[in-house]
Amino acid sequence: MNSFNKDKKLFKIRHSCAHILAQAVRERFEAEGPVHLGGGPPIEDGFYYDFRLPRSPSDEDIEWLEARMKEIIGSACRFEKEEIDEARARELFSDQPFKIELIDLIAAGKSDDNGEAAEEEDAAPALSIYRHDGFYDLCKGPHVEESSQINPEAIKIVSVAGAYWRGSERNPMLVRIYATAWESRADLEEYLEIVEKRKSRDHRVLGKRLELFHFDQSAPGMPYWLPNGLIVLNELIDYWRRVHRKNGYKEFSAPLINDKKLWEISGHWEHYRDNMFVIEEDEDTVFGVKPMNCPNAMVIFNLKVRSYRDLPLRLSDCDVLHRNERSGTLSGLLRVQKFQQDDAHIFLAEEQLEDEFDRVLDLCHEFYRLFDLEYSFRLSKRPDEFVGSINQWDRAEAILEGVLEKRAGKGNFQIAPGEGAFYGPKIDILMRDSLGRKWQMGTIQLDFQLPSRFGCHYVDRDGSRKVPCVIHRVIYGSLDRFIGILLEHTGGALPAWLSPVQVIVAPVSDRHLDYARLICDKLCDRDIRAEVSEVEGTLSKRVREAVLMKVPFIVIVGDKEAASSCLTLRLRDGSEQRDLALDQALELILGEI
């Protein structure tokens, strides 16, 4: 786990509650069979713990567990740390196979006590347990000193799910119990309100209601973009193209599939093969459906001799990609198998890196400001499996760290050891939405490896051949995922320029249809996406339907408007402007879109 608030009170409360939950689960289920403990870290919204249980927990079990947790908290038990050696750890957890596996990993310096990659600060193997109320668990802490520091009225078990041990489908499926803990009852209630709001803003529900996209059993994780949704997708791409042309990017498009030899050169065949769709015509003819466009950008760079004068060379694309994901991980637009990604590969000399990273971060800011999204940075460092030398990685990581210190300030960004791509470290841009959730969006990656593997070079000032560096970067990330996040962020009320239908013209009755169509035609002539509502029934029904479809502007026309060649304009906030001339309405609408 990264250093997220380790020294803060809430982190300690949640960490201690995870241990208390594990104690309660053992008490509840051990009479029925072995209870094997996995791990239980605090997370931003609460905490969870993974178990292998004799049976699945029922609603009655969850109710009992929550009540028992409150009893344990009320007993004012102390949390005490004890340093132990490896032999003692194996003795204490001899009946706990997952803990033994963690002990092996910790001893090798590869994991922490929750099965996550060890941080650099945790590289020296260390073993400790925490005890409370007769229960103990493998843990390095920190915890509250005493359970009386936890408010029993501010905890709640929120859900039960399945999770593979240590996140790998090759490992056993465990029961994951999610819960939350806060400092006060008021904080808990506020959080539970947000959870309910999240349910009402589920992008899958909004996507169906607003007729944006569809998923079919015939193509799991591959969205059908319906006419309304395709407008949103294309508007995002059109804006992306305009901004990138202005910033010196050259767009290309590449084949959907490539011979596996290309993926072998790039290293994807070795490191990413399990996440690719593969087409085997025969033993000697094997293609990979592209999960990313990096190798194709290398092909384009190598089409002709490049000079130092050509650098930075900024190649962008918005191609369709496919990734073979586990079926259990698919989740609406947020986790798909077919998607479009706003990609770019920037070829440059090493001395140009700092300036170019500044340009890229400025570009990211321009995009995210448009959608009123807050963001922060995370530096993802070298994973266990990587290509290239340690020295190259150290140099690349130092450059990225320096860029972030300049941009955000020292200590004002997260560091994620082991989370980089196999060919280079990266800066992840984390967005916070209106419901308080964080999402990974943009990624900026420095790569010294791929250009070398593809034999890329340019002719420098002195006539020598040099290998360029490459910055891989996305801003939206997956456009599909971005739309899903944007729908939940806005509750479906997309910015007017993105809305599939920007204006609904609602006639008071059918006898006003001709005037409504005249107004609609004039709006369409100004490239405003307008439609006439011909919903059966009253005006209020037509307006209500437009409101449900999150249309930004509703034009109302009746006898008075038709007689005086004016209109009434209803805005998204419910306010109305009456007796507007068409030119006035056009000016107002165009100002918003």
The pLDDT tens digits of the residues spanning 200-246 come to: 899 999 999 999 999 999 999 999 999 999 999 999 999 999 999 99
Neighbours of 586 (CB within 10 A): 16
- Please check whether residues 233 and 352 belong to one and the same domain: yes
Beta bridge partners of 444: 427, 473
CA distance 388 to 423: 7
- Please check whether residues 21 and 95 belong to one and the same domain: yes
The three-class DSSP label of residue 585 is helix
Distances (CA, A) of 447 to 292, 353, 510: 15, 11, 63
Catalytic residue check, 15: no
Residue 391 is assigned to a structural domain of this protein: no
Residues 6+ apart with CB under 8 A from 545: 533, 535
**Which one is catalytic: 61, 113, 343, 447?**
343
- Please check whether residues 480 and 455 belong to one and the same domain: yes
Neighbours of 483 (CB within 10 A): 25
Residue 259 is assigned to a structural domain of this protein: yes
What pLDDT does residue 141 have? 92
Residue 409 is assigned to a structural domain of this protein: no
Catalytic residue check, 345: yes
- Please check whether residues 467 and 566 belong to one and the same domain: no
- Please check whether residues 320 and 341 belong to one and the same domain: yes
Catalytic residue check, 143: no
| pLDDT tier, 114 (very low <50, low <70, confident <90, very high otherwise) | low
CA distance 69 to 22: 9
Say how many domains are in the chain.
Answer: 3
Residue 393 is assigned to a structural domain of this protein: no
**Which one is catalytic: 472, 473, 481, 570?**
472
What's the CATH number where 19 sits?
Answer: 3.30.980.10
- Please check whether residues 187 and 214 belong to one and the same domain: no
Q: Which of 434, 467, 490 is the last residue of a domain?
A: 490
Residue 384 is assigned to a structural domain of this protein: no
What's the CATH number where 524 sits?
Answer: 3.40.50.800
- Please check whether residues 346 and 459 belong to one and the same domain: yes
Catalytic residue check, 472: yes
Catalytic residue check, 323: yes
Q: Which of 197, 214, 239 is the last residue of a domain?
A: 197
Residue 112 is assigned to a structural domain of this protein: yes
Residue showing tokens 């090798």: 108
The continuous run of DSSP H or E covering 471 comes out as strand 469-478
What pTM does this model have? 0.80
Neighbours of 285 (CB within 10 A): 10
What's the CATH number where 356 sits?
Answer: 3.30.930.10
Distance of CA 463 to the CA centre of its chain: 44
What pLDDT does residue 146 have? 97
Q: Which of 175, 197, 219 is the last residue of a domain?
A: 197
**Which one is catalytic: 143, 345, 466, 570?**
345
Residue 6 has pLDDT above 80, yes or no: no
* Percent of the chain topping pLDDT 90: 76
pLDDT tens-digit profile of 134-169? Answer: 999 999 999 999 999 999 999 999 999 998 898 877
- Please check whether residues 180 and 301 belong to one and the same domain: no
Angle between helices 513-525 and 582-592 (to 10 degrees): 50
What pLDDT does residue 125 have? 55
pLDDT mean over 105-116: 69
pLDDT tens-digit profile of 473-497? Answer: 999 999 999 999 999 999 999 999 9
**Which one is catalytic: 323, 335, 481, 542?**
323
Residue 405 is assigned to a structural domain of this protein: no
- Please check whether residues 91 and 164 belong to one and the same domain: yes
Listed in sequence order, the DSSP H helices in 477-538 are 479-490, 513-525
Residue 312 is assigned to a structural domain of this protein: yes
pLDDT mean over 506-526: 95
Which range of residues forms the domain containing residue 32? 9-197
- Please check whether residues 158 and 176 belong to one and the same domain: yes
- Please check whether residues 146 and 36 belong to one and the same domain: yes
**Which one is catalytic: 341, 445, 449, 502?**
341
Amino acid at 221: G
Amino acid at 347: F
**Which one is catalytic: 132, 426, 489, 542?**
426
Closest C-alpha among 107, 87, 203 to residue 437: 203
- Please check whether residues 466 and 519 belong to one and the same domain: no
